[in-house]
Structure 1
Amino acid sequence: MAGLPISPATLAKDLLAILDRDDHRLQRIDRYVHGKHDDPYMPSHADDEYRLLAKRAISNWMPLLISAVAQALYVDGFRPGAAGGQLPGAPSSTSTEWSHWARSRLDARQAAIYRGALAFGHAFVLTEKTWRGVRSKGLSATRTAALFEDPAGDETPYAALTVASWPTPSRPGTARMWDGRREYTVTFKSLADIDSIRVTAGPLHGAGECPVTRFAASVDLEGRTVGVVEPMIPLQNRINQSVFDLLVAQTYASVKVRTVTGMAPPMETEPVVEDGEVVGSRVRLDEAGNPIPAKIFHNARRFLFAEDPDARFGTLDETPLAGFIESIDMSVRHWAAVSQTPPHMMLGQIANLSAEALLAAQVALARKVAEFQSTFSESWERVFRLAAELAGDEAAADDYHGEVQWRDMESRSLAQAADALGKLAEQLGIPKRGLWKRVPGVTQSEYEDWVDMAEEDDSAGQLASALTRATPSEPVSGANTELVAA
């Protein structure tokens, strides 16, 4: 479709139509992430107390679902590739790609991109030239749409649009749109009003393709993106309903109810006054002439007694709450199994678990994280190539062998890591310097400092290098040959 002559106005209409189509679904996901869930079922004539219990029944598990994965995703290095199929070069904080990363403050901002992609199924990153250099920034899926020739297989869109401001009654909305060559300004009165769309051509963006990159959590062969939130909404609703039923039973039926039969309630009385003096009392009547029962204030410190021998006292047993609690636990366990979240993270039960059991519980989550790392790595590599192209680094812009380096977020002590790395070096013969990047928590700058210090401390190696440079590679004459040989 990239070769077809599609007008910018047509592209803008198609992109805004995508936002209009997906708006309801994405807004529902956003509500669930922020704890604004659908109310549990309750009778249509429910009073305010029921509705208050419904609000308190919301147990929002969605942030944990996202954080469990997002907190294990952290890019802390990029290893450029090399031409000719050679080994990739050493990581460098001064490379074009990593300088762009630092300039864009992506150490802190990358988390928002992952959280958006995990929540909605996809997020976007815009790479562009600014007066401070090439920068990249995340774009929300609720504001951004992209068009692909093959949505399932292509990494490069042929057009993308992001809403800068939504329309109001007094002014139209504005959006930025990019194709393979140019940026456009788009105005519109509403997403559904295609006749109000106006497109104004802007400057060339400088890249050879659309500068917007999609970060998709999961893409099927139909090109549909699915995050971690939407499939879990039915289970979240089930948990909320179980908690609501528990709160209703706890509020209205969790205590014993005292009953009495054959006993007339006391009536309210009022004084009888004659000639300004109280001479007695009588039962107070309502407007219809019926006696008014007196209010009985009964608590654990008061006793009721009846003069009539036919009166009978009794109790109604409370509703057992154990069944509701078991139902909630079952739903949470189903949640953990379906979402690949370790059960102890949700239930808070880690007593009497061995290290092997904890490791086994983390296996499913670790595989899930590894899948997202593989998917997001391809997106980051395209961002780095775009940044290099916009910076004028042609070699880096054509580098398809670069590797994104993810920080090892597994919880291990430094002693355990040192022991494991030492065994790799001693028993397998892996070069020690090649294992430095495996040290937990080491950053790109620290790694480069270690390399520099190692070269400065390697006095023997420097002397050998100097002697090698000073020694002629071939003899000049016979006399000199004898001197060198001697």
Structure 2
Amino acid sequence: MANAEVIARERLDVGEWELKQQERDWDYRERYIQGDQDLPYAPEGVNAEYRQLQDMSIANWMEIAVKAPTQRLQVDGIKTGRQDTADETVWNEIWQPNRLDSRQAIPFQEMYTHGRGVMSVSANPKNKKTPKIRPESGRRVWLGADAEDPFTHTWAVKIFNVKERRGTSLILPASVQYSSTTRVAFVYDENEWFKYEATGGTSAWKLSSAGKHGLNALPFVGFDYNLNSDGKPRSAIQTLIPQQDALNTIRFNTLLAMQFSAYRQRVFTGYDPVVRDSSGNPIIRMGADGQPLLDSNGLPLPMLNSPGRLGVDRALVFPGAETKVFDLPESNLDNYIKVLSEFLTDFFAIGQIPPQYMLSRMANLSGDALAGAESTLQALVKDLKRSAGESLEQVMRLANRARGESHEDAGSEIIWADTEPRSFAQIVDAIGKLIASGMARKDAWLMLPGATPPAVKQWVDNSDSERQMQDMMINDLEQKLLPS
């Protein structure tokens, strides 16, 4: 045990260091996904109007880049190696109680955004049949790889903060309390867990408890994407951040052009509005008391000629031989829009996002044309399904261990929802042909949009019941029609 504690303490140091190293990039990507992005460049000392245009220029395309592929990852069922159809028991006792219909999106999005999503599995002492499956934050959990096999994780470190409130002996209002933060760390291996705490603002870890988790396997599963030969995952959206900055800069320049040069500007030169006497001296404005009117600096205010008002039925006449009037043409905003459109097209192409996400690019397309436009996204989705599917299968194996099953289900398989764009009529026609060719109705109906194992079972039961009723009615009718 002492040796295991030493190893756990060393792993804690390594995990803490690794989490610290990735923290800056992790937060940077997360900030961009949430729309908190760097403002376009503007010179120092610009006024509030410029700063408002900077804020308005942010358009969060990064969120679309992440959600477009990950929203297509929807689990419809889990097929175990012991049967050919979806396992309803696993679905009803493991998947649904853990609310994984909605929570499955969390590791998928972190896998795509940061290269790795994480899920944990643990036994449920309140209900042994339903183990706990939880998405974990990749910012707080580090998975340590085997030195000889970088694709296999053998230990994990999870670090988080716990805020505690405590009373004080000082005489203060009842609502005022001091608070303290305790840093908590768990170190896991394939058999044991160790809990460490650091209190009082210090970085010194102290072992507080330890025990066995009983899974005989690491209770964390990594959802890794873009793995290299060293087993290190890479973010799929890191290269899109400069593209997002470029789009924001173009929008900022467009807003500047719209604000200051989108309209024709009339320019006056050589015009002196001051009224002067025959000697060329300004004529001073006088008040009701006969005294000169003064400006804020105490200087006399001269009388001014009105430049006139513009209108189609008016002529502008200015005193002075040097007065000139001319126009500055407006900026051509079409050029800005064209550049923005081209950069946006490049952004979507790099992110493998189909053009229908830009609604102006798609109109009156057939189902076949829409499917062709989606081909690159579907290739990306299939790649993500391969990575996420293997991880989910491992999660289910750990869940079976946590519920006490001794059978190691190496043949389990995830049943993914069909999210390719097809009309409902096309889907029904294809399913009807499959059933006519001999495919079981239960398997074929799982291909319907939104089909789940419980729903398909209900459909099959209803269909069988209705068929039995029809057979009974036909038999009764035949008996009545037979001659006596």
Classify the TM-score, shorter chain.
0.7 to 0.9
Asked if the contact 1:160–1:179 (Cα under 8 Å) also holds between the matched residues in 2, the reply is yes
Verify: 1:154 aligned to 2:151, yes or no: yes
Distance 1:63 1:295 in 2: 57
Shift of the alpha carbon at 1:200? Answer: 3.0
Shift of the alpha carbon at 1:235? Answer: 0.5
Shift of the alpha carbon at 1:410? Answer: 2.7
Distance 1:200 1:439 in 2: 52
Partner deviation per Cα, 1:401-436 (whole Å, 9 max, x = no partner): 01111111233333221211222333x443444312
Asked if the contact 1:104–1:137 (Cα under 8 Å) also holds between the matched residues in 2, the reply is yes
Q: Which of 143, 161, 186 is matched with 1:176 structurally?
A: 186
Partner deviation per Cα, 1:370-394 (whole Å, 9 max, x = no partner): 1111111100111111011111111
Matching of residues 204-223 of structure 1 within 5 Å: 204-223=212-231
The worse-fitting range, judged by mean Cα deviation, of 333-342 and 112-121 is 112-121
Matching of residues 35-434 of structure 1 within 5 Å: 35-82=35-82, 88-95=83-90, 98-133=92-127, 134-149=131-146, 154-155=151-152, 157-165=153-161, 170-188=180-198, 196-266=204-274, 272=286, 278-279=289-290, 282=292, 284=294, 287=297, 289=299, 304-395=316-407, 398-426=408-436, 428-434=437-443
Asked if the contact 2:285–2:303 (Cα under 8 Å) also holds between the matched residues in 1, the reply is no
Shift of the alpha carbon at 1:269? Answer: 8.1
Distance 1:58 1:128 in 2: 42
Shift of the alpha carbon at 1:171? Answer: 2.9
Shift of the alpha carbon at 1:140? Answer: 1.1
Distance 1:296 1:387 in 2: 85
Tell me the TM-score normalized by structure 1: 0.82
Shift of the alpha carbon at 1:163? Answer: 2.7
Cα 1:150–1:420 shift into 2, 3 Å: farther
Asked if the contact 2:285–2:300 (Cα under 8 Å) also holds between the matched residues in 1, the reply is no
Distance 2:256 2:208 in 1: 58
Distance 2:316 2:149 in 1: 75
List runs of 5+ in structure 2 lacking aligned partners: 165-178, 276-281, 472-484
The worse-fitting range, judged by mean Cα deviation, of 372-381 and 41-50 is 41-50
Distance 2:226 2:303 in 1: 68
Distance 2:219 2:410 in 1: 17
Match of 1:466 in 2: none
The worse-fitting range, judged by mean Cα deviation, of 251-260 and 324-333 is 251-260
Distance 2:229 2:200 in 1: 31
Asked if the contact 2:265–2:330 (Cα under 8 Å) also holds between the matched residues in 1, the reply is yes
Match of 1:484 in 2: none
Distance 2:200 2:15 in 1: 13
Asked if the contact 2:225–2:387 (Cα under 8 Å) also holds between the matched residues in 1, the reply is yes
Instruction: Tell me the C-alpha RMSD between the 2 structures.
Output: 3.3
Cα 1:245–1:459 shift into 2, 3 Å: closer
Asked if the contact 1:152–1:220 (Cα under 8 Å) also holds between the matched residues in 2, the reply is no
Asked if the contact 1:181–1:205 (Cα under 8 Å) also holds between the matched residues in 2, the reply is yes
Aligned residue identity for 1:31: R
Distance 1:335 1:299 in 2: 48
Distance 1:322 1:185 in 2: 62
List runs of 5+ in structure 1 lacking aligned partners: 83-87, 463-486
Cα 1:201–1:266 shift into 2, 3 Å: same
Aligned residue identity for 2:433: K
Residues matched between the structures, number = 444
Match of 1:7 in 2: 7
Match of 2:167 in 1: none
Verify: 1:18 aligned to 2:28, yes or no: no
Shift of the alpha carbon at 1:258? Answer: 1.2
Tell me the TM-score normalized by structure 2: 0.82
Asked if the contact 2:145–2:151 (Cα under 8 Å) also holds between the matched residues in 1, the reply is yes
Aligned residue identity for 1:255: Y
The worse-fitting range, judged by mean Cα deviation, of 440-449 and 345-354 is 345-354
The worse-fitting range, judged by mean Cα deviation, of 171-180 and 295-304 is 295-304
SS at match of 1:265: coil
The worse-fitting range, judged by mean Cα deviation, of 292-301 and 250-259 is 292-301
SS at match of 2:446: helix
Asked if the contact 1:152–1:221 (Cα under 8 Å) also holds between the matched residues in 2, the reply is no
Distance 1:43 1:293 in 2: 39
Percent identical pairs in the alignment equals 24
Match of 2:169 in 1: none
Asked if the contact 2:161–2:181 (Cα under 8 Å) also holds between the matched residues in 1, the reply is no
Match of 1:450 in 2: 459
Shift of the alpha carbon at 1:238? Answer: 0.7
SS at match of 1:94: helix
SS at match of 2:239: helix
Asked if the contact 1:8–1:199 (Cα under 8 Å) also holds between the matched residues in 2, the reply is no
The worse-fitting range, judged by mean Cα deviation, of 14-23 and 309-318 is 309-318
Distance 1:142 1:299 in 2: 64
Shift of the alpha carbon at 1:44? Answer: 2.3
Asked if the contact 1:174–1:186 (Cα under 8 Å) also holds between the matched residues in 2, the reply is yes
Distance 2:220 2:226 in 1: 18
Aligned residue identity for 2:96: A
Cα 1:308–1:206 shift into 2, 3 Å: same
Aligned residue identity for 1:247: L
Match of 1:476 in 2: none
Distance 2:184 2:122 in 1: 19
Distance 1:378 1:314 in 2: 71
